[in-house]
Amino acid sequence: MRKKLPVLLLLLTSCLISISSFAQSVTIKGSVKGTSNGESLPAVSVTVKGSSAGVYTNDKGEFSITVPSLPVTLIISSIGFESKEVTVSSASQAVNVTLATASSLGEEIVVSATRVAIRKIESPVTIEQVSAANIRNSPASTYYEVVQNLKGVDMLTSSLTFKTPTTRGFNGSGNTRFNQITDGMDNQAPGLNFSVGSIIGLSELDVDNMELLPGASSALYGPGGMNGTLLINSKSPFKYQGFSFQVKQGIMHADRKYRQEISPYFNWNIRWAEKIGERAAFKITSEFVQAKDWLAADQRNYQRLGTTGKIVPGTRSTDPNYDGINMYGDETTIDLRQVFTAIGAQAPFLVPYMNSLSGSPINVSRTGYAERDLVDPNTVNFKLGGAFHYKITDDIEAIAMGYIGSGNSVYTGSDRYSFKNFIIKQYKLELNAKNWFVRGWATQEDAGESYNATVTTRLANERIKPSTQWYGEYGQTYLAGKLSGLTDIDAHNNARAFADAGAPKPGSTQFKQIFDQVRSVPISKGGGLFIEKSDLYVAEGQYNFSHLTGGVVDILVGGDFRRFVLDSEGTLFADSAAPIPINQFGGYVQASKKLFDDRLNLTVSGRYDKNENFDGRFTPRATALLKLNKNNSIRLSYQTAYRFPSTQQQWINLRVGGDVLLIGGVQELRDYYKFNSNPIYTLESVQANAPKVYDYKDLKPENVTSYELGYKGVVADNKLLIDVYGYYGQYENFLARALVVQSKTGNIGGLASASTRQVYSVPVNTEAIVKTYGYGLGLEYKLPGNFVITVNGSSDVLQDVPAGYVAFFNSPKYRANVILGNSMLGKRKNIGFNIAYRWQDAYFFEGDFATGEVPAIQTLDAQVSYKIPKTKSLFKLGANNLLNQYYYHAPGNPSIGGLYYVSYSYNIF
C-alpha cells in the first residue's frame, strides 16, 4: 500500500485537473425558515426536480443554485420537515420558503443496512440510528454515550474517554467482535486491536449520524462484525456550512469520593466548513477534552488462576498473598517455602521447624501500589480533523480527509494500560459517485509513552528492592516473628513491614522517579513501555449495477484489500527483526429483487475473504422484507459473520504476569518455539501429574450464524413507532486461549518444576458450539405538545456454554431505557429538555484483567436547554448520572459518578 497510495493520489489529481468549467446560466437565490419559531434552517436540501444537481442552505438558511434555464421546480427537503416543491420562473426574486415540522417516525434514511440508501422502516435487518439532532438533544456528555440509549447496546467504560459499545454480548474494552467504522474507515487500532472511536475520529459537532447494526454483519462490512457494526458518518461541508463551536464546562467528582478535589471537565468543539465556489468545500474540526479521570479503585482481593481468576475475601493486612484488583505490583508472588529452602541452607537447624510450617504453600505477594498513585489522573483528548471535498461532476465527488487524535487515556486489556501521549492518525482519499466509490485509507498508531501499569509497577518494585532480597528479608522476619510467638498473620505483617522499610511512599518524588524510569524503558528491554507503531492500509471500492440491471435485479459489487504492518519493535509482537506485514482481501456481491408490487424485497449477499495466514472464508447473507403497507414491515434475515484471529492472536509474543508467554497462532511462532520437536502439554494434565501432549490444531477464523425476525411499523395515527426483533445465533470455533506447558530441558521430566518449564498461552478455537438468542422491543411515542417518549428493552442470552469454559459473554440478561424529551417547549418553542433513564441487570463479567459479578446499574441523565435563534445560540445545563450514584461496568474498571455541565453552543443546528 505504501506504493499504491501515491498512485491513487495521482489518479485523483488528474481527475481534478481535467474538470472543465461549466457555463453559467441562471442563479436562483433564496432562504428557508421553519414555521414553528421562524428560525432559519441550515442544511436544507435544495434540488432541481428531474436532475441530480442540488445544494444545501448555509448556516443562515440561504441557498444559491445555478440552473441551466427557467422555469424549474425546486424540491426543498430536510429531515424532520415536510418537503415542499417550489416552481421558480424568475431569477430576479428571492425564493423564500417555510417548512412545516413533520411527524417523521420511521422516515429516516439509513444506508448501512444494505449499503444503499433506504427508509429506516424498510431496512431488512435491525438498525438503529442516532441523528445529529439526537446528539444535540441528548444529555450525554459525548456523542459516543448516546449510543447507550439505543436498544440492545452495552457499554464498557475503561476511563472517561475510553468507551466501547457492543451489541449482543461479548462486551469488553478490547472488543474485536464489534466493528466501528468512521466515514468508511474501520477505526480498530491495527496493533492494539481495540476500537479507538471514542478517542480519535469525529469531533462531536461533525457527526452527521450514527447507524448501528446489531448482530452479524460481515457480509457487507467484512470480517470482525460478529456482533454488530457501528457506522459513524461525518457532516459534508457542502451540506453543513459555517463556523460553529461548543463550549462545555463541567464538574466531576462532586462528592470527592475518588479524587480529593472537585475537578473541572472541559469539552471544547469547533467546526468550520465553507464552500469555495460551487464545487469545492472544506471543513476543519477539532475537539478538546480535559478532566480528572474516573478512578479505578477496586481494592478487592483477586485470586489469579492462569489468565482467569476470582474475587476472594482478604485485604493487605489479612492476606499475605493479597492481590488487589486495582493495586499493582502485588501480582508478584512466590511460595515462601522457596525462601525457606535458602534459609535452610544457611541454618539447617531450622529446617525441621520450617518443614512443619510448610504443609501447604505459603504464598506471599509483594506490596502493591494503588492506581491512584500511579496513573496520571489527567485525561486529555485532542482531536483534529479536516476534509476537502471537490465535486468533479454533479455526480462525482472527491474527498481527501484526515483525522488525528492524541492524548492520555486508560484502557483495560489483560492489564490496565495507561495511554500516555498516544497519537492515532487516519487518512483517506475517496472518489464517490452515485453508483460507485473507491477509497484508500490508512490508520497509523503510535502508542507514545504508553505503558502497562501492572508490569511497570512490578518492575518498579524490583528497582526499589529486588524480590530475591525482599523475600529473603520477609522470610527471615516472618520466621523470627513466628519464633517470638506472634500470631501467623502478625508474623506476616511484621515481615512485610520490615521488607518494605525504606521503600518510597506512593506519590513521593522518589517513587515517581523510579516509576518514570521504568515506564520509559521498552518492555523488550525490561521496562514497562510498549512501543506500538503498527499501520493498516486499505483500498476498497464498490459498484452498484442497479441502474443497468435494475429492471431484473439490483446488483451491488465491492471489494477491499487490507495490509497490516505490525511494528512494535519486539515489545508486543514477534517483530524485533522487522515489521510484520499481513495481507488480507475480500469481495462481496449483493443482489436484491423486489417482488409482488414491491411488497417483498429479497436480498442475497455473499462475501469472500482471505487472510494470508488463514484459509479463505465465505459468508453468505439472505434477507427478506415484507412490506405490509407503507409504514409497516416484517423483516427476516439469515446472516453469517466471522472474524480472522486478530493481529495479536496471530503475532503477539509477550511475557505476561506469572511468567506466561502469550503468543500468537501463526506457524512461524510455533516453529520458533519448536512445538514440533519439543511437544507442548496441557497445563491441567501437567498439574495432575499425567502430562498429555496437547493436540495443537491450526487456527481458524471463528464464525457465527444468526437468524432474525423483526417487525417495524408506525401505528396509532402515526404517533407510535414499534420496533421488535428476536434472534437466534450459533457460534463456532470461538477464539479463546489455552495454557500449555513445554519442558525447557527437552525431556518430559522438565515439566515437573516451574524453573524447568515454560507456560504458553496459545490462541485456540474451542470445539464447543455455543448458542445465543435474544430479543428487543422499542417504542417511540409522540405525545401531544412535542413530547416524545422512547421506551426500549432487550435481552441477550448465551446458552450451552460447556462447564469451565470462559466465554467472555459479558452481557446483562436484561436492559431497558426510558427517554422522555421535548425540544420545543415554551411560548417560543425554544426550551428543551431530555431525561434518559437506563437500567441494566446484574451480570457476571469475565475478563483477562479481572472476572467478577457486576451489580445492576441504573443511571439517570438529564438536560434542559434554551435556544436563542436570533444569535444561533444554545445554552444547555446537563447531567450524566444525575444522582452521582457510582457504578462500574466491569471489575477493575473505574467507578463512574456524576458529570454536571453547562454548555454554550453557537450555530450547531
Partner 1 sequence: MKLTSHMKKIVSYSLVALLLLSSCNKDISAPVPNTFPTPTGQSIGEIVNTNASFSLLKYSLNKAGLLTALTNKNSVFTVFAPNDAAFALSGFGTTAAIDQIPVAQLTAILNYHLIPGQKITSAAIPTTFPNVQMPTGLIFPPPNTSPLARFSIFPSRRGSAAWANNIPVTAADIPVANGVIHQVAAIIAPPSKLLLDTIKNDPDLDYFEAALVRADSGLATTAAPSFQYYLGNPTIAPGANFTVFAPNNAAFQALIYFLVYQQVFALTGSAATADAQANGAVAAGPAFLSTNNVTTALIRGVVAYHIMAQRAFSVNFSSTATNYQTFVNGSIAAHPGIAISSTITSGFGSALSVKGVGNPSAAAAIPTAAGIDRPAVNGNFFKINQVLLPQ
Which parts of this chain interact with partner 1 (CB under 8 A)? 297-301, 313-315, 317-319, 324, 343, 347-350, 352-353, 356-357, 476, 479-489, 491, 783-785, 787, 818, 820, 835, 837, 839, 855-860, 882-883, 885-888, 891, 895
Smallest gap from Cβ 660 to partner 1, in A, equals: 25
The answer to whether the CB of 606 falls within 8 A of the CB of 620 is: yes
Count of CA atoms in the C-beta half-sphere (13 A) of 809: 24
Going by the DSSP 8-state scheme, the letter that residue 538 receives in this structure is E
E-strand ranges in 523-574 read 535-544, 554-566
Q: Toward partner 1, which CB reaches closer, 10 or 783?
A: 783
705 vs 592: CA distance, rounded Å: 21
Q: Toward partner 1, which CB reaches closer, 734 or 888?
A: 888
Beta bridge partners of 636: 624, 709
Q: Toward partner 1, which CB reaches closer, 297 or 384?
A: 297
Smallest gap from Cβ 161 to partner 1, in A, equals: 21
Smallest gap from Cβ 477 to partner 1, in A, equals: 8
Q: Toward partner 1, which CB reaches closer, 506 or 541?
A: 506
Q: Toward partner 1, which CB reaches closer, 353 or 436?
A: 353
The residue among 878, 889, 909 whose CA lies nearest residue 140 is 878
Phi, psi of 307, deg, nearest 5? -100, 5
444 vs 187: CA distance, rounded Å: 10
148 vs 139: CA distance, rounded Å: 12
Q: Is 123 exposed, middle or buried (0-12, 13-18, 19+ CB in 10 A)?
A: buried
N residues, the chain: 909
How do beta strands 653-656 and 660-663 pair? Answer: antiparallel
For residue 385, the one-letter residue type is G
Written in H, E and C, the secondary structure of 869-907 is: HHHCEEEEEEEECCCCCCECCCCCCCEECCEEEEEEEEC
Q: Toward partner 1, which CB reaches closer, 204 or 298?
A: 298
Q: Toward partner 1, which CB reaches closer, 282 or 498?
A: 498
Q: Toward partner 1, which CB reaches closer, 83 or 315?
A: 315
- Long-range contacts from 593-599, C-beta under 8 angstroms, 24+ separation: 593/552, 593/553, 593/554, 598/627, 599/626, 599/627
Smallest gap from Cβ 367 to partner 1, in A, equals: 15
Kindly state the cell numbers that stand for 908.
450547531
Smallest gap from Cβ 627 to partner 1, in A, equals: 34
Residue 77 DSSP SS3: strand
The residue among 799, 797, 827 whose CA lies nearest residue 814 is 797
Residue 341 parent element (H or E): helix 336-346
**What are the Cα distances from residue 92, in Å, to 26, 28, 29, 73, 132?**
10, 8, 9, 16, 35
**What are the Cα distances from residue 368, in Å, to 179, 325, 437?**
36, 10, 54
Q: Toward partner 1, which CB reaches closer, 211 or 298?
A: 298
Q: Toward partner 1, which CB reaches closer, 350 or 604?
A: 350
Q: Toward partner 1, which CB reaches closer, 453 or 798?
A: 453
Q: Toward partner 1, which CB reaches closer, 234 or 477?
A: 477
Beta bridge partners of 250: 265, 901
The contacts of residue 17 (CB under 8 Å, 6+ apart) are: none
**What are the Cα distances from residue 439, in Å, to 100, 182, 256, 461?**
38, 13, 49, 49
Smallest gap from Cβ 840 to partner 1, in A, equals: 11
280 vs 400: CA distance, rounded Å: 12
Q: Toward partner 1, which CB reaches closer, 476 or 590?
A: 476
Distance of CA 607 to the CA centre of its chain: 24
Q: What is the DSSP string of 413-444?
A: SSSEEEEEEEEEEEEEEEEE-SSEEEEEEEEE
Q: Toward partner 1, which CB reaches closer, 412 or 758?
A: 412
Written in H, E and C, the secondary structure of 135-172 is: HHHCCCCCHHHHHHHCCCEEEEEEECCEEEEEECCCCC
615 vs 904: CA distance, rounded Å: 54
Smallest gap from Cβ 478 to partner 1, in A, equals: 10
Smallest gap from Cβ 413 to partner 1, in A, equals: 20
Smallest gap from Cβ 852 to partner 1, in A, equals: 10
Smallest gap from Cβ 455 to partner 1, in A, equals: 23
Q: Toward partner 1, which CB reaches closer, 296 or 739?
A: 296
Smallest gap from Cβ 474 to partner 1, in A, equals: 13
Q: Toward partner 1, which CB reaches closer, 663 or 862?
A: 862
Q: Toward partner 1, which CB reaches closer, 636 or 791?
A: 791
Helix pair angle (467-483, 488-500), 10° resolution: 140
Smallest gap from Cβ 670 to partner 1, in A, equals: 41
Smallest gap from Cβ 521 to partner 1, in A, equals: 32
188 vs 180: CA distance, rounded Å: 7
Smallest gap from Cβ 300 to partner 1, in A, equals: 4
